[in-house]
Structure 1
Amino acid sequence: MERVTDPFISSVLLVLAGYMFFDRAFAWLHIPRTPLFIGEAVLGIGLLTAIWSPNFAIFIRRNRSIQLLVLFMLWGLALTLQGFPRWGIDAVRDGALWYYGLFALVLGTLMLTRPSLFDRLARLYARVIPVWLIVAFARLAMANREWPLRIPDSDVSITYHKVGNIAVHGGMVILFMALIVWPKASAQMRRRITLYSIPAFILLIAVGTQTRGGLIAAAVAMIIAFVLERHTRRLMIVGVSGLLVVFLVAVALDVTFELERRELSARQFLGN
């Protein structure tokens, strides 16, 4: 497995960066006139690589949360097989929620095979966060505004994205900083993390004016982390406190931004 690890890691990083920065537009990249999309292609290569490694089974046996994920995926597979005779390829596409969980199995196997990989990828992700926050605010401001340029073999604009996905990524950023970086961080790094967390929380509230689903998904994950992981609480409290100050100022000044879909304001957030 180690011989093919580096090319696969590069492919995964490309896919994850594409999803993170270009969202649904990137996800629509596919082999013309086929239902094979870029995410499935990389996943298939990784899965074929991982299942031949003894660490694949070891990773599943060691991790209770992964065992629960496997049960969820098996249930999803059963439902997909049940619906396939009637719905065909649409049943498979709707099953993306469960079969994309295979990425967790593949990457977990890679981490066991090359333990140094985790720290390397964590440092890389930490460097990307400030850039992503800028892009996320820009994408939110351009929500539902389409450019005429399309993804090949589709009607999808290169700017097409779901606002809720921004909230999910924002929640992931906060959880990454709280669960992975904060416990080992120096005092200087913790100040930097705190600086990043405030715009990340503001982003979640801004997205919450446009969609409930993404905000709820991110909020539930953070509440679970707050309850179960004591060391996350300080960062969460600081971030929420900073957010509360910004929110109260926005209410007092009646700050409003007109977006394509809905206005961005404290009033709209409370209405949502």
Structure 2
Amino acid sequence: MSSPVVTRRLVGAASPDNSGRLWVLYGRLVGPLLAGYLLFDRAFAYLHLPGSPLFVGEMVLGVGAAAAVVSTQYLKGPLRDESIFALLGVFAVWGLIRTVPGVATYQMDALRDAVLWLYCLFAFFVTGALARSPELVDRWISGLSRLTPWLLLWLPFAVILYPLSPSAPSVPFSTVSVLSHKSGSAAIAALLVLGVMWLLPGERSARSRVGWSLMALLVVALAATQNRGGLLGVLAGGAVGLAFLRNRVGLAARVVLVMVVGLGVASLLSLKVPMPGLQGREFSASQLVANVVSLGGKDSPGNLGGTVEGRQQLWTRILDKQIDDGHLVDGSGFGQNLASEVGVLDAGKDTLRSPHNSHLHILARMGIVGITLWIALWVGWYWRMVAGCRRLAREGQQTRRQVGVLCLMTSTAVLVSCFFDPQLEGPQVAALLWTIFGIGVAVTTVRPWFRDRTTP
């Protein structure tokens, strides 16, 4: 970036040399953590110490928890001043209440399923780190800008190679393939770097941005041939970003033109990525068109409509059982395999544990109480973010405003994609979403716990 976003200024705080070092360490670890998730997705999530149940994301959360205990004063400001954290805290407490009864029966399975709400700790901890060192935002954005070329060069291969993951080597001490990069996660990563290039270009030239943007659109197109949720997420997130740009009509027209011309040429030439022995959807223009058409439902071509119908049947069975068991209000709790209980398994394996929809998963595990808190939480966050971005624009704080818009874009893409994929059940997407949640609160606050360089 051409100039720092923020600098540390905390009223009543101790000297930066004497306190809050763990918060700084946490902030410096979060950047590489998210970079690893963006690059390698699930394969990076399963890196952990041999013989330890803690994975890399949980270890970073452990540093945040230690910082919260040792330097609580940096967390008090955000918790005291930001009402949205009170709502997030209630959501987390309700998740804890519904988790505890299942621990005795299901043990680690209950704790594993509880990450659906537990990863919200990333939101709390990132605000503690920003209260200690607001310049971390600049560090993260600069790091993402440097990562962009490597990310966009690797992601097309990551998406294409994913179907070969069953025959690829596994991550040490796990059964997870090193090629386990889901196409939906790749699409979200591509949208994130698109947002950074156009909202926070820094010293990147217009020609460079156009070139890398075409690469990002290629990633989205490849991912869209395999995952419709990622496609819808990118479209929704991109629409949110365009709503905050002054030249949105012209930029949207150029993007649509590039996509239409590119897809038209690819269709005329019958372009596709040759993958001998590939089982499932092709990487081709015709497959992309079929996926777009399939968004209409079960009358879609091929087996795509059946996929939609199958998911709807899974959702219905789980919710019907929840009603029959009398747990519609408080939820079924955590630990039991919801899909197995209704007779649905993933290719004969005991791996599908949820309705394959993070929002409905919250309803199933935490009931109407949980889903009501979930909806209220995000309605409140979006209300705050939109109002905050407009206020920052009026005040001329463009960099903070652009960071806020980037948070809105990415969170929208994730939340929409979660309707089709259980992404919040894994840290590779959940850590990104909750970190963005905290950053958005920080850059839009009017409270003194987070101030930029111009604050008197």
Structure-2-length-normalised TM-score: 0.52
Quick check: 2:183–2:224 contact (8 Å CA) kept in 1?
no
- Aligned equivalent of 1:165: 185
| 1:64 CA drift (Å) | 6.3
Distance 1:74 1:253, change over 3 A: farther
- Aligned equivalent of 2:350: none
Larger-gyration structure (1/2): 2
**Which whole-Å CA distance do the structure 2 matches of 1:124 and 1:98 have between them?**
28
1:154 to 174, 184, 189: 174
- Aligned equivalent of 2:130: 111
- Aligned equivalent of 1:203: 219
Structure 2 gaps, min length 5: 1-18, 292-456
How many residue pairs get aligned? The number is 267
- Aligned equivalent of 1:47: 65
**Which whole-Å CA distance do the structure 1 matches of 2:117 and 2:159 have between them?**
27
Amino acid at match of 1:243: M
Amino acid at match of 1:128: L
**Which whole-Å CA distance do the structure 2 matches of 1:270 and 1:60 have between them?**
47
1:4-42 deviations in Å (ceiling 9; x for gaps) = 344334432332222122211111122334421111111
**Which whole-Å CA distance do the structure 1 matches of 2:247 and 2:99 have between them?**
37
Partner of 1:143: helix, strand, or coil?
helix
- Aligned equivalent of 1:230: 245
**Which whole-Å CA distance do the structure 2 matches of 1:64 and 1:129 have between them?**
34
2:42 to 24, 34, 40: 24
Quick check: 1:254–1:265 contact (8 Å CA) kept in 2?
yes
Matched, 1:241 2:257: yes
Structure 1 gaps, min length 5: none
Matched, 1:132 2:169: no
- Aligned equivalent of 1:252: 268
- Aligned equivalent of 2:332: none
**Which whole-Å CA distance do the structure 1 matches of 2:235 and 2:102 have between them?**
32
**Which whole-Å CA distance do the structure 1 matches of 2:80 and 2:225 have between them?**
42
Structure-1-length-normalised TM-score: 0.83
| 1:114 CA drift (Å) | 1.4
| 1:74 CA drift (Å) | 4.1
Distance 1:268 1:138, change over 3 A: same
Within 5 Å, give how 1:155-194 maps onto structure 2. Answer: 155-179=175-199, 181-182=200-201, 185=202, 189-194=205-210
Amino acid at match of 1:144: P
Q: Sequence identity of aligned pairs in percent?
A: 31
Distance 1:173 1:145, change over 3 A: same
Quick check: 1:22–1:161 contact (8 Å CA) kept in 2?
yes
Structure 1 runs, 4 residues or longer, greater than 4 Å off: 60-72, 234-237
Distance 1:64 1:145, change over 3 A: farther
Higher relative contact order (CA 8 A, sep 6+): 2
CA RMSD of aligned residues (A): 2.8
Quick check: 2:24–2:132 contact (8 Å CA) kept in 1?
no
**Which whole-Å CA distance do the structure 1 matches of 2:90 and 2:235 have between them?**
24
My pick for the range that moved more, 247-256 or 218-227, is 218-227
| 1:157 CA drift (Å) | 2.4
- Aligned equivalent of 2:387: none
Quick check: 1:136–1:166 contact (8 Å CA) kept in 2?
yes
Distance 1:237 1:85, change over 3 A: farther
| 1:142 CA drift (Å) | 0.9
Amino acid at match of 1:212: R
